[in-house]
Amino acid sequence: MIRLHTNFSGTVQGVGFRFTVKRIANGYEVTGFVRNLPDRCVEVVAEGDREVVKSFIDAICNSTLCDYIRNMEKEWQPATGEYKEFKIEF
């Protein structure tokens, strides 16, 4: 199990980004969250099998959201197991 911490920048707030990420997450065995940050970025933290998490992030980047993403910063970390589901944090 692994954790991927990702920050997306661009026009990623006010376009349904969090709700689309949540919908995409429903198709993968990942836990974690998506939330808006004060600097107008969107943060995604996902835990699961490394290949599943990678496929989940690839699905985000290959979705309708790709037009809004200017940059993506990724950091792989050890999983903590603290999440029980994938949710939108407000």
Q: Which residues are tagged catalytic?
A: 18, 36
Please name the residue that has the structure tokens 């200017």: 70
| Inter-CA distances, 25 with 38, 39, Å | 23, 24
Please name the residue that has the structure tokens 């990702």: 6
Asked if 51 and 68 count as a contact pair (C-beta separation under 8 A), the reply is no
Per the structure block, which two tokens stand in for 53?
């998490």
